[in-house]
Structure 1
Amino acid sequence: MTQQSYDVVEVVAMQLISSDASVVPVSTELSFRTSDPYTVRAVFTGPQTMSTWLLGRELLVQGLLAVADDPAGTGDVQVWRDDDPEFALISLSGVEGSALLAAPTEQLEAFLARTEELVPLGEESDRMESEISALIAALLTA
């Protein structure tokens, strides 16, 4: 199976906020495929490490409207607007620990707007139907 390229890619300069409130710059590549319209791939690259997460596109959209007392997401990923409207906060929790990242709201909104131009929110299943049919057809002819 060949690796399909991404339809929308944006590199966002985020900040990792540590428990002592110090900040570490993190370059984050956000990627979106129309063939997988529910998902945003995020590759976080810091000075010493790299980590890849799959985030729900709708979760990111909802997070831009959420507040700290009621963040979007209930699992390993939560997103909400910071007190400073120029930033959204993304909380990641996994087996290796947790991280809190501050992301420029304007860049996130621009990335999500570009994904919505290709696959509007609420129309993901329509897009997936043809992809699933194509996959089934390919499996049956293999």
Structure 2
Amino acid sequence: MPGAVGGTFEVVPMHLVLSDASVLPISAELSFDPSDPYTVRIAFSGAHSTSTWLIGRELIAHGVLADSNAPAGTGDVRIWRDEDPTYLLVALSGVEGEALLAGPAEPFVHFLSETVELVPFGAESPRMEDEISRLIVTLLDA
């Protein structure tokens, strides 16, 4: 979120690719909070609505290296490089339907590198210990 203490934020211009291959402009607001180091929050905003998704940081990292033959992700979120590798594709499936989003790959790569400076891959678990301890205390006091 903008102004989140110690986090990082990036806005990426993207397109929603419709079934007839026409496109609608949207923006993807990526935010990372080191207190939740496994997750990236992405708010996809169009002219009339916003949809926020929590996506695994590792899934995004795998996605920027993947291609259409083997996209990263097997569930509600799949990510891969387009035939033109300067573009990243994000396929989302939810209760309201499916969406294919396309945007420049470089801002995602830049964003990931900033998250790694804050919390390197493999160093997430120790950051979660305090949060898990607080959750346990809350549950025991309930």
Q: Same fold (TM over 0.5)?
A: yes
- Percentage of matched positions with identical amino acids: 59
Question: Deviations for 1:6-38, whole angstroms, at most 9, x for unmatched residues?
Answer: 611111101111111111110111011101001
Q: Deviations over 1:23-75 (max 9, x none)?
A: 11101110111010010001011012111111110000000111111110010
Runs of 4+ in 1 over 3 A off after TM superposition: 134-142
CA offset digits 1:97-124 (Å, max 9, x no partner): 0000012111000001100100001111
Q: What is the identity, as a one-letter code, of the residue corresponding to 2:85?
A: P
How many residues matched? Answer: 139
Using the alignment, how far apart are the partners of 1:8 and 1:18 within structure 2?
A: 30
Offset of residue 131 of structure 1: 2.7
Check if 1:27 corresponds to 2:23: no
Q: If the length of structure 2 is used for normalisation, what is the TM-score?
A: 0.90
Tell me what 1:5 maps to.
Answer: 4
Matched, 1:43 2:43: yes
Question: Which runs of 5 or more residues in structure 1 are unaligned?
Answer: none
- Could you give the per-residue CA deviations for residues 75-103 of structure 1, whole angstroms, max 9, x where no partner exists? 00000011111111000000100000012
Tell me the distance in 2 between the aligned counterparts of 1:70 and 1:59: 13
Gaps of 5+ in 2: none
What is the RMSD of the two structures over their aligned residues, measured on CA atoms?
1.9
> Counterpart in 1 of 2:64?
64
Letter in 1 for 2:4: S
- Equivalent residue, structure 2, for 1:54: 54
Structure 1 segment 127-142 matched on structure 2, within 5 A: 127-136=127-136
**What TM-score results when the alignment is normalised by the length of structure 1?**
0.90
Q: Which residue of 2 aligns with 1:76?
A: 76
User: What is the one-letter code of the residue matched to 1:132?
Assistant: I
Q: Distance in 2 between matches of 1:95 and 1:61?
A: 25
How far apart, CA to CA, are the structure 1 residues paired with 2:99 and 2:25? 13
**SS, match of residue 116 in structure 2:** helix
For residues 141 and 95 of structure 2, the distance between their equivalents in structure 1, rounded to whole angstroms, comes to 40
Instruction: Report the alpha carbon displacement of residue 140 of structure 1 after superposing the two structures with TM.
Output: 6.7
